[in-house]
């Protein structure tokens, strides 16, 4: 870690496979992926201490927290938001938030991840340009989706995060030429591929938390949450998507 570099902790629990990462000076220093079978509410804090311990740091050393804003699992999004609020309040540090769907798009566009114990240059995470539709399963025909053009120097939103049916999503012109990623894309692989789409899974890139650090490093504009105590994450609970769909 570069002397004087600000240290950031990132985490996302919007999907069954949560993630925690820590980075500084444009480097990903350590990350953990939480088991899909684990309880995020029980595993998140221990995982935070694990990644910080790996680089011999503690919560008071942090300069800020980066959290996945959702959408995704209702309970998972809420766990990450509540943990982030508690940490930034107690440590008196800034909170930053990015769409979990945008983080998934970055993850899908990234190359192979670093092995445990290896730091990685976040600035070299993306090569070229990839159009990605990030899709989270919301049960039944429903999905949470957002489409992005991911480049080395940032990303462009082609389709803002929304709650859709699979049929509605596949009819949208923004998905043309994009690859699809996420558990929603995997669940509906047959329909997506039947329309000529490519489903990219499983991934070999960074975790969702590592992708959040890339977003902070590359596209930080508007990410700071000015009033963490009053902030609410992006549940995307459209009238056609029941709350129970978020699990």
Token pair, residue 23, equals 């980075």
On the question of a cis peptide bond just before residue 71, with omega within 30 degrees of 0, the verdict is: yes
Does pLDDT of 114 surpass 70? no
Q: Which DSSP letter does residue 174 get?
A: G
For 192-215, write each residue's pLDDT tens digit: 999 999 998 766 678 999 999 999
For 70-110, write each residue's pLDDT tens digit: 999 888 999 999 999 999 999 999 999 999 999 999 999 98
Please indicate, yes or no, whether residues 89 and 54 belong to a single structural domain of this protein. yes
Please indicate, yes or no, whether residues 96 and 11 belong to a single structural domain of this protein. yes
Could you tell me the sign of the dihedral formed by the alpha carbons of 48, 54, 60, 63, in that order? negative
Do the beta carbons of residue 127 and residue 121 sit within 8 Å?
no
Determine the Cα–Cα distance for residues 28 and 159; give it in Å rounded to an integer. Answer: 28
Residue finishing a domain among 199, 214, 236: 199
Please indicate, yes or no, whether residues 12 and 88 belong to a single structural domain of this protein. yes
Look at residue 167 and tell me if it is in a domain. yes
Please indicate, yes or no, whether residues 42 and 74 belong to a single structural domain of this protein. yes
Name the residue range of residue 241's domain.
7-102+206-246
Total of domains in the chain: 2
Look at residue 221 and tell me if it is in a domain. yes
Q: What's residue 243's pLDDT?
A: 38
Nearest to 19 by CA among 165, 209, 183: 209
CATH of residue 167: 3.30.420.200
Do the beta carbons of residue 108 and residue 126 sit within 8 Å?
no
CATH of residue 26: 3.30.420.40
Angle in degrees, CA 133, 167, 245, rounded to 5: 80
Please indicate, yes or no, whether residues 20 and 93 belong to a single structural domain of this protein. yes
Do the beta carbons of residue 217 and residue 123 sit within 8 Å?
yes
Please indicate, yes or no, whether residues 150 and 212 belong to a single structural domain of this protein. no
Please indicate, yes or no, whether residues 159 and 215 belong to a single structural domain of this protein. no
Please indicate, yes or no, whether residues 29 and 90 belong to a single structural domain of this protein. yes
Residue 71's φ and ψ, nearest 5 degrees, are -80, -170
């Amino acid at each position: 870690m570069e002397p004087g570099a600000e240290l950031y902790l990132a985490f996302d629990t919007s999907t069954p496979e949560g993630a925690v990462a820590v980075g500084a000076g444009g480097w990903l220093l350590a990350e953990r992926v939480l088991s899909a079978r684990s309880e995020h509410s029980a595993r998140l804090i221990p995982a935070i201490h694990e990644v910080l311990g790996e680089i011999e740091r503690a919560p008071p050393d942090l300069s800020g927290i980066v959290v996945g804003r959702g959408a995704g699992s209702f309970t998972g999004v809420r766990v990450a938001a509540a943990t982030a609020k508690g940490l930034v309040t107690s440590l008196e540090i800034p909170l930053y938030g990015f769409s979990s769907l945008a983080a998934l798009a970055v993850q899908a566009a990234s190359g192979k991840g670093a092995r445990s114990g290896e730091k990685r240059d976040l600035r070299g995470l993306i090569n070229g340009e990839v159009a990605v539709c990030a899709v989270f399963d919301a049960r039944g025909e429903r999905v949470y989706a957002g489409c992005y053009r991911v480049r080395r120097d940032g990303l462009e939103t082609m389709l803002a995060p929304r709650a859709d049916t699979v049929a509605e999503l596949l009819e949208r012109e923004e998905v043309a030429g994009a690859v699809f990623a996420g558990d929603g894309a995997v669940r509906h692989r047959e329909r997506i591929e039947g329309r000529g789409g490519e489903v990219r899974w499983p991934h070999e890139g960074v975790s969702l938390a590592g992708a959040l650090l890339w977003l902070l490093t590359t596209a930080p504009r508007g990410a700071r949450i000015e009033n963490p105590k009053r902030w609410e994450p992006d549940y995307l609970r459209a009238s056609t998507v029941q709350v129970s769909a978020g699990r």
